[in-house]
């Protein structure tokens, strides 16, 4: 075993307040397990624009109480005394402990620390930062990651996730933190249910229109969304959704799903089964921290899930029909469908493209922009009204209200969300998207695959000639630097390739655009074939 790693482990052990991780580390040292020690101490979780996220366990390369206390101390150093921070947490393992540790450490640094009353959705925390006029917010969550993960997301006083250079300042301050067992602690304040009531009052107007007749099947996927969503539906006047019983209560083990992510194969099986049994008009799902929303629709062959881009286009027109006046702006990311730009042009409003992540979407157009809607294809949506966005982050509860209102309005007219999708295809062309996502055990494989694409740029992808290739590593006129390759293809198609920011995956985002010259079904089949050929071509090129 490496003597330097052993020394670092013993120093860590001496300051660790958690008996579970102390026991874990003692067992590793006693067994002289060099591989386990290397995995925990040869690297560290890096604090970035997504904060921290990683597997629970001992050491700097894991999420644990020492890592969290160091993060809180770094945040405190950047903020300085006399500030106010709101702290929220989900129902994952250790989330409540990490939230309390953060609050105590901030309070010891002279910062007022307010903790949400119980495990709650991430959008409640994002809302609370602005509502309480706080200087920052912390949300302890790993969103839809596997059960053994947790994370630490930081918001600034504007209610948005942090971006550079704030993240770099916090990261540098974390690196300067010494032993955490010597840092002072203080008392913190537990907020009451009034903050949840205020959030619900803010998002209820997102149920645009007055149609309310709708039968909904719902799952929170063992997360924290159920109570808040059910209260939101009641406040907006919708019938109570029917929730999957075995997935209703928060459970950090996520026992009924392999991955607690509505996009993952099998995750929606129980909700789709419930929808079939009750003949639901739509299916709704939140991920474990309820900042994402997935939607399924009834078809002649059973219920199917909409893609993130399909829902993104539907909600865009819904919002633009219910808002008015000059200066409206909608925004999406460079990996999402180009359909939003066509919808925006049709409605005479501005459309912005950003890098992936709501930290960028909610900053589209600058602080004075009249942003009424933003979305990303990974089931993230922020819906607004003429007054703007009530939550400056993705919001799975507010989105669910907006979707329910849209579906109820269509039902009253004898139509469905599928009919609305067909309307859009005829008006704008069929915009079909898919994703090739490759999980790897070694992150160096992703770097090598990106290098291969850079050194030998493709001239064709599938049936489409490459008309333009763009490497965003050094940024562009309207985008900051990012490890992203973007290809514009003949016929309006496009491909974007990037490493995931939160998981060991390489992601390729594909889009085919097909005009509807005969039937929508025929155009859909042509688009599906085009996407299949593009995916096959990319898989061969990436060789992962």
The distance of Cα 183 from the centroid of its chain, to the nearest Å, equals 33
Token pair 């016929």 in the structure block, residue = 491
Residue 148 corresponds to which tokens in the numbers above?
Answer: 């053994």
Instruction: Work out the angle between the directed axes of helices 308-321 and 339-347 (0-180°, nearest 10).
Output: 10
Give residues with Cβ within 8 angstroms of 349, minimum separation 6.
Answer: 320, 328, 329, 330, 372
Q: Are 294 and 262 in contact (CB under 8 A)?
A: yes
Within 10 angstroms of residue 81's Cβ, the number of other Cβ atoms is 10
The whole-angstrom separation of Cα 296 and Cα 279 is: 12
Q: Are 136 and 75 in contact (CB under 8 A)?
A: yes
Of the listed 95, 143, 382, 434, which one is catalytic? 143
The whole-angstrom separation of Cα 487 and Cα 13 is: 49
The whole-angstrom separation of Cα 68 and Cα 45 is: 11
Strands 464-471 and 460-461: antiparallel
Q: Can 382 be counted among the known catalytic residues? A: no
Among candidate residues 289, 241, 242, 233, the one with its CA nearest the CA of residue 261: 289
The whole-angstrom separation of Cα 160 and Cα 171 is: 18
Residue 36 corresponds to which tokens in the numbers above?
Answer: 């386990």
Residue 192: helix, strand or coil by DSSP?
A: coil
Among candidate residues 121, 282, 117, 97, the one with its CA nearest the CA of residue 192: 117
Residue 48: helix, strand or coil by DSSP?
A: strand
Among candidate residues 44, 50, 48, 43, the one with its CA nearest the CA of residue 171: 48
Residue 134: helix, strand or coil by DSSP?
A: coil
Give residues with Cβ within 8 angstroms of 481, minimum separation 6.
Answer: 472, 473, 474, 475
Strands, E assignment, 96-199 = 112-115, 136-140, 149-156, 189-190
Q: Where in the sequence numbering do the catalytic residues fall?
A: 143
């Amino acid at each position: 075993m490496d003597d330097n790693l052993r020394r670092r482990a013993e120093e860590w052990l001496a300051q660790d307040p958690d008996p579970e991780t102390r026991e874990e580390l003692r067992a590793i040292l006693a067994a002289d397990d060099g591989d386990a020690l290397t995995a925990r101490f040869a690297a560290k979780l890096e604090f970035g624009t997504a904060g921290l996220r990683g597997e629970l366990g001992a050491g700097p390369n894991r999420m644990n109480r020492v890592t969290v206390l160091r993060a809180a101390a770094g945040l405190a150093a950047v903020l300085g005394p006399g500030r106010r921070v709101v702290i929220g947490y989900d129902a994952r393992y250790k989330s409540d402990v990490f939230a309390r540790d953060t609050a105590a450490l901030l309070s010891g640094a002279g910062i007022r620390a307010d903790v949400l009353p119980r495990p709650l959705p991430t959008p409640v925390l994002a809302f609370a930062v602005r509502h309480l006029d706080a200087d920052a917010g912390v949300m302890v969550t790993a969103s839809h990651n596997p059960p053994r993960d947790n994370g630490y997301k930081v918001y600034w006083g504007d209610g948005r996730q942090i971006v550079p250079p704030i993240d770099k300042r916090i990261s540098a301050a974390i690196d300067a933190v010494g032993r955490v067992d010597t840092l002072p602690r203080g008392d913190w304040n537990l907020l009451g249910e009034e903050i949840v009531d205020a959030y619900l009052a803010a998002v209820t107007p997102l149920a645009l229109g007055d149609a309310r007749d709708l039968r909904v099947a719902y799952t929170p996927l063992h997360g924290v969304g159920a109570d808040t969503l059910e209260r939101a539906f009641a406040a907006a006047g919708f019938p109570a959704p029917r929730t999957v019983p075995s997935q209703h209560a928060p459970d950090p083990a996520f026992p009924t799903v392999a991955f607690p992510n509505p996009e993952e194969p099998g995750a929606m099986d129980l909700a789709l089964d419930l929808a079939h049994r009750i003949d639901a008009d739509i299916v709704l799902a939140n991920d474990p921290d309820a900042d994402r929303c997935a939607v399924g629709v009834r078809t002649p062959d059973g219920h199917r899930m909409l893609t993130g881009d399909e829902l993104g286009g539907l909600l865009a027109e819904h919002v633009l029909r219910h808002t008015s006046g000059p200066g409206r702006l909608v925004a999406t990311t460079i990996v999402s469908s180009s359909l939003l730009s066509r919808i925006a042009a049709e409605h005479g409003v501005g459309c912005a493209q950003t890098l992936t992540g709501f930290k960028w979407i909610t900053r589209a157009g600058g602080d004075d922009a009249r942003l009424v809607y933003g979305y990303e294809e990974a089931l993230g949506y922020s819906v607004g009204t003429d007054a703007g966005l009530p939550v400056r982050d993705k919001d799975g509860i507010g989105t669910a209200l907006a979707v329910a209102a849209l579906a109820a309005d269509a039902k009253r007219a004898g139509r469905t969300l599928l009919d609305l999708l067909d309307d859009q295809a005829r008006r704008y062309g069929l915009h079909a998207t898919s994703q090739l996502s490759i999980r790897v055990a070694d992150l160096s494989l992703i770097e090598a695959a990106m290098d291969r694409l850079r050194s030998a740029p493709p001239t064709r992808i599938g049936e489409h000639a490459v008309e333009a290739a763009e490497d965003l590593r050094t940024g562009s006129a309207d985008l900051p630097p990012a490890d992203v390759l973007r290809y514009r293809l003949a016929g309006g198609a496009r491909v974007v390739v990037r490493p995931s920011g939160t998981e060991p995956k390489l992601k390729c985002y594909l889009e085919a655009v097909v005009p509807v010259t005969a039937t929508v079904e025929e155009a859909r089949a042509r688009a599906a074939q085009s996407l299949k050929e593009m995916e096959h071509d990319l898989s061969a090129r990436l060789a992962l």
